[in-house]
Amino acid sequence: MNDRKDPILYIVIPCYNEQEVLPETSKRLREKVQTLRQSGKIDADSRILFVNDGSKDATWEMVQKLHEENSVFSGVNLSRNRGHQNALLAGIAVAAEHADMIVSMDADLQDDVDAMDRMIDAYEAGNDIVYGVRSSRQKDTFFKRNTAQLFYRMLHFLGAEIVYNHADYRLLSRRAAKGLLSFDEVNLFLRGIVPMVGYQSTTVTYERGERFAGESKYPLGKMVAFALEGVTSLSVKPIRMITMGGLFVCLVSLGMLIKAFVDYANGNVEPGWTSVIISIWVLGGLQLFAIGIIGEYIGKTYMETKRRPRYLIESVLLDAAEQEDTPGRE
């Protein structure tokens, strides 16, 4: 796929308050890059790129120290916290200027770094996108395992093209990365956008481990918000379902009106307020729910029309030659 004998690899890792995991993460990734270099799979100019997403701890200071000690480590420091997806996209934008292929993964290294070998093999076989897919969810809690499967099935039902049990562990060729960066939307849900890029793709399965230090950056509240972001970013089917639901309620109401006239004509009318109150609450709840979903779409449209930058880069740690072509805003 490339004229170079050994392709340049950039490993992009978004970081938010990761000072507890960074020492072990950097050690494992450095060893992996060294192994890949020695085996001739990647070029000596390959890098590990940490993206600091406005961390409040010493994450960025640790990245700076790593860069000073070993040039294999590079860094991008965002001006403020912009969220995991924007931080990941910022790293991909920087890496795409220098790398032939880009692997994205989380800083906690729950994703198996050894699966990278098979990803690179798949890239060499002609694939522009290689998805890291979990082989099982046995290590998840019962609640997380079942809600995750429900989430994927719901997205599939709503018409979104998404890879089951895939998060953000993937390999992108430079061509695929450039294609991804051409998507201008502010409301990012990369798991759903990457399949839209097209190009030849495949999957690599791996066993996901447990977080070895620190706390998860996705508690229940954030997971729910992330799921809502995915649904409203990838499909307009909820709006259509609201329309069909409204039509159904209208038909039921018409039927009840006809029944009321028939009962009145037959003298079977029984006064009572329970049924009236229940119907008011049910219809009121449905209306508020519908307004909320419509409001989500209106809010997203508003954010898209503002055309605000998805992120701003405060500083970049790269070699002098690499830093000249680095984008600073997107």
198-214 pLDDT, tens per residue? 888 898 888 876 655 55
Sheet holding 9-15, edge to edge: 201-206, 129-134, 166-173, 101-104, 9-15, 47-52, 73-78, 313-317
Nearest to 74 by CA among 89, 97, 58, 91: 91
Q: Which residues pair with 173 in a beta bridge?
A: 101
pLDDT band at 2 (very low <50, low <70, confident <90, very high): very low
Q: Is the pLDDT of residue 217 over 60?
A: no
Helix (H, G, I), strand (E, B) or coil at 163: coil
Nearest to 51 by CA among 27, 25, 77, 33: 77
* Higher local confidence (pLDDT), 90 or 1: 90
Give tens-digit pLDDT for 50-98. 999 888 988 999 999 999 888 899 999 998 888 888 898 999 999 999 9
Exposure string for 74-97, b = 16+ CB within 10 A, e = fewer: bbbbbeebbbbbbbbbbbbbbbbb
Is the domain spanning 9-150+164-217+309-323 CATH 3.30.9.10? The answer is no
Helix (H, G, I), strand (E, B) or coil at 202: strand
CA angle 267-270-273, nearest 5°? 150
Distance separating alpha carbons of residues 235 and 58, to the nearest angstrom: 39
Give tens-digit pLDDT for 259-270. 666 766 776 656
Query: Residue 2, exposed/middle/buried by CB under 10 A (0-12, 13-18, 19+)?
Result: middle
Give tens-digit pLDDT for 15-30. 998 888 899 899 999 9
Q: Which two tokens stand for residue 315?
A: 């500083």
Give tens-digit pLDDT for 218-256. 555 555 666 666 566 666 666 667 666 766 766 676 676
- Region of 38 please: left (phi>0), alpha (psi -120 to 50) or beta: alpha
The per-residue DSSP string of 133-148 comes to: EES--TTS-HHHHHHH
* Higher local confidence (pLDDT), 138 or 194: 194
Q: What is the pLDDT of residue 102?
A: 94
* Higher local confidence (pLDDT), 279 or 168: 168
pTM above 0.75, yes or no: no
Report the mean per-residue pLDDT for the chain: 77
Task: Tell me the percentage of the chain whose pLDDT exceeds 70.
Answer: 62
Q: Identify the H or E element spanning 283.
A: helix 274-306
Q: What is the pLDDT of residue 1?
A: 46
**Mean predicted confidence (pLDDT) in 129-157:** 70
Task: Tell me the percentage of the chain whose pLDDT exceeds 90.
Answer: 20
**Mean predicted confidence (pLDDT) in 166-194:** 84
Domain boundaries, the chain: 9-150+164-217+309-323
* Higher local confidence (pLDDT), 150 or 179: 179
Nearest to 316 by CA among 154, 137, 79: 79
Q: What is the pLDDT of residue 312?
A: 85
- Region of 23 please: left (phi>0), alpha (psi -120 to 50) or beta: alpha
Q: Which two tokens stand for residue 80?
A: 């403020």
CA angle 211-217-218, nearest 5°? 100
Q: What is the pLDDT of residue 134?
A: 82
Distance separating alpha carbons of residues 249 and 245, to the nearest angstrom: 6
pLDDT band at 137 (very low <50, low <70, confident <90, very high): low
